[in-house]
Amino acid sequence: MKDYKNYKKEGKSFADWGFTQPENGWHIAEVQEGIGPFINRDDEEVMDKKGNRLITIPFKIAEGDSANAKVNMLVSENTPRGGQKMYDLLVAINEADAFDKKFGANDVFDAPVMDAINKRAVGRVVKIYGELDKTGKYWNVNRVADVKDKVEDEKPKGKEKPKAAASASSDWD
């Protein structure tokens, strides 16, 4: 466990740690660096209830009252639903066809594939849908879509126009 006692002398009289709770609903968001194992504050990998490692896909909301809020989509590794979520992200960033050409039937959770997804997804803009869980503690990303798609339940968010996802590239490194 980390030692937090030393932070006392570095405290500030006004502090903002960036924990903004987004509004429930659709948001324009940018994929952030750090797609990989979900690590808790004790630097341990987190598993789901069935013992599968959780993968995190970090996003930063890019518009509206929730702008700059950082949220994560959690994916259970080596499960059909987890694989579908990863592939849906590839569809949303217009990289599914290029991915299929490069990796074919390889599992999206294979280390080289995850590395490639991390390189390609970071900085890409998508739509995400999220809401507070039943406990009211966690904001879950439940859906992802191409930023150009019209989605159900969508409400206008702010005055900014969203950036379209970059066109697919054929060279997956």
Provide the CATH number for the domain around residue 139.
Answer: 2.40.50
Q: What is the pLDDT of residues 83-132, one digit of tens each?
A: 999 999 999 999 999 999 999 878 889 999 999 999 999 999 999 999 99
Q: Does 155 reside within a domain?
A: no
Tokens found for residue 121: 């997804």
Output DSSP code: residue 142. E
Q: How many C-beta neighbours within 10 Å does residue 42 have?
A: 8
pLDDT of residue 158: 47
The boundaries of the domain holding residue 77 are: 22-146
pLDDT digits (tens, 9 = 90+) for 126-153: 999 999 989 988 899 999 999 998 876 6
CA 120 to chain CA centroid, nearest Å: 13
71 located within any domain: yes
The answer as to whether 101 is a domain residue is yes
Query: In the chain, how many domains are there?
Result: 1
pLDDT tens for residues 44-65?
999 999 999 999 999 999 998 8
Q: Residues 6 or more apart from 14 whose CB is under 8 A from it?
A: none
In a domain, 159, yes or no: no
**Structural domain includes residue 115:** yes
Average pLDDT score over the chain? 84
Structural Rg of the chain based on CA atoms: 17
Instruction: Band the pLDDT of 160: cuts 50, 70, 90.
Output: very low
Structure tokens at 130: 């999220």
Q: Is the pLDDT of residue 168 over 90?
A: no
